[in-house]
Structure 1
């Protein structure tokens, strides 16, 4: 699945990580989805109702299928999109909505009953006998439903918040966002540039094009260097607005 000599992470350090108990190798900083596909892993989760196998469908935060749980214990985080989770040494991720694993899910038997599990089936079926709801139906449905799950333990990790103010908030550090931040920053405005990715640049990081006569990724690097040198500009990555 890798293209020889291609990719911005091709020279990155090779690191080891784990997925569903298997030790795999990937390139530091690349999306978990890319590392898994390169290792031949196609199924990363199961669908909500019928537990059908699901793999990668998109390349960003809009991903609806490749949802995984990252970490163990109190710091476990469910429903992380494999398309945006960065690979790093020691990363541990798990497929969701499946038992005992996403490759062999016992609940996939639901798919055999798809023709009789139409809309409204649940409401008509689980209303009788009435006393069964609390003791039988509801506990069983709750165990079968849902995707990822929290650990239920207290998370000891520290978190911080800040009340930030600016003249211009730029949402998204793609080509338009970078130009807006540069223009406002050069004019002396207080600017916050927020991007959901780990690395600003948007589509310029993946498309083969030129900006101002130079490769797109080179222009991005120069723009970020100029913005970082401005005391009136704050760049916030991995940030959702």
Structure 2
């Protein structure tokens, strides 16, 4: 059944992009919505591949024109998903993956409650901080203020995890990818052999593993 909308969110530095990339190599029929953003390109990024990079003026014009399914301002930059992304995927006989932040996800879940929402957790604040520092070093950006701001924002975003249908801990990449794949297959009705794995990731199941990771972020 094509036309399922999968929303995937995570705090910055949780490894979400890597998981989504791996998932797309394992599961066919998934279209990926390339978001619009006003932030600058990083490293080897290319316009139209990671994001559609645009100006604040153009982004605000698109807001006014109603061109976005969701949009948010995060760390001083706009990010948004075009309304046309879902219809394009459905017309192509595919499901759509949205890799968006919590602000945007909340907007989409209100508009499209049938969407399948998935939250990615880092295993601990220490691991998240290490990943943020490694990424910052690779991008030649070593602002301590930015790192601390993202760690603080992660704690706020984690409070909204229970609003999502599924959540998984990205500590071992292969395991996290397997869980993500299981969720997609089960939601498609094609989850023979992976139902238990997908069910263990439901937030209403509140698995010990999920609670353990979440508890590490308690002040």
User: Could you state the TM-score of these two structures normalised by the residue count of structure 1?
Assistant: 0.23
Select the structure with the greater relative contact order (CA < 8 A; seq sep ≥ 6): 2
Instruction: Considering fraction of residues, name the structure with more helix.
Output: 2
Q: Highest CA radius of gyration, 1 or 2?
A: 1
